[in-house]
Structure 1
Amino acid sequence: NGIRGQPTKDVHNKVYKSFSDVIEGKEGRFRETLLGKRVDYSGRSVIVVGPSLSLHQCGLPREIAIELFQTFVIRGLIKQHLASNIGIAKSKIREKEPIVGGILQEVMRGHPILLNRAPTLHRLGIQAFQPILVEERAICLHPLVCRGFNADFDGDQMAVHVPLSLEAQTEA
């Protein structure tokens, strides 16, 4: 950028970014926007063994479940006339009122979640499970399902995704 090492500046004396400046580093185009994205209705946590679970179940921490299913819980609170608007429903969730747990259980009952362990190299790297609320802060998995994920319980992390559309839920 510029002639003989002198940077080109605009009218406000600000240095123009060269093409290489735009694409390199953490704030560069590739790492900032193309490689990794934050996604709604998803979370991540460490996995721990849950031998009491069935093969199709996973233990989902209450904190993560409330965050993932928040919009569904808000809709349930309003539909059952336990909250008159979104603000009141959010405050009930924030204050951890007992009624929220019941509605969360109801919402989760018919809603599968997807568990994914990076890198996803084949079909078994992402699988659907029936979520069960747990009080721990880690995702619980039956030890026999770990082979498909190539996971073990030495600190591996897994991502949780909520399929939203009916089509995505039936595919899961």
Structure 2
Amino acid sequence: MFRVMMMNNERYVFSGTTGAFYPLSRKQGYVDAGSWPDDGVEVKEDIFMKFQNPPPGKLRGGDANGYPCWVDTPPPTLEDERRSAALTKKSQLDEAGRIIGPLQDAVDLGMTTNTEKASLLTWKKYRMLLNRVDISTAPDKLADAAQRGKGGGLMPVIEQGKPAHHRKGPSTF
């Protein structure tokens, strides 16, 4: 069975301010909600379809006449960088905790091997070093630390103390 996509010739208004399309058939609902754009320009469905999926590195924006166009994605803000660093740090701390838990259980129950003892010590050291990474200065100090390690961002700093068999790539330190 073949599916045929039929265009219903819906008309839209595009707002360069919001970067969004608004179906004209639903205008009254937007007006009632107070969200109908003041800067809208009418476009046909083919333009609407053309601007649904941005190419890599692009966002939907408005040109000088208010019509949709692709614009470069802005670089991350300092706040974006810090939020990303915080999420990465939390993820890595969670991973370390998941690995340390069973190893510590083996030690507590007297059921550990020498390899497990060594692994537990390495993971605990890694977790302590990771916990000391100050993300409040990201990306400044992280970039400095990464530069010393010939890497980029938070990952080289985090990967530094991680047990070798759990690193995402070869250590740069």
User: Going by fraction, where is helix more abundant, 1 or 2?
Assistant: 2
Structure-1-length-normalised TM-score: 0.28
User: Going by fraction, where is strand more abundant, 1 or 2?
Assistant: 1
Bigger radius of gyration among the two: 2
Structure-2-length-normalised TM-score: 0.28
Larger relative CO (CA 8 A, sep 6+): 1 or 2?
1
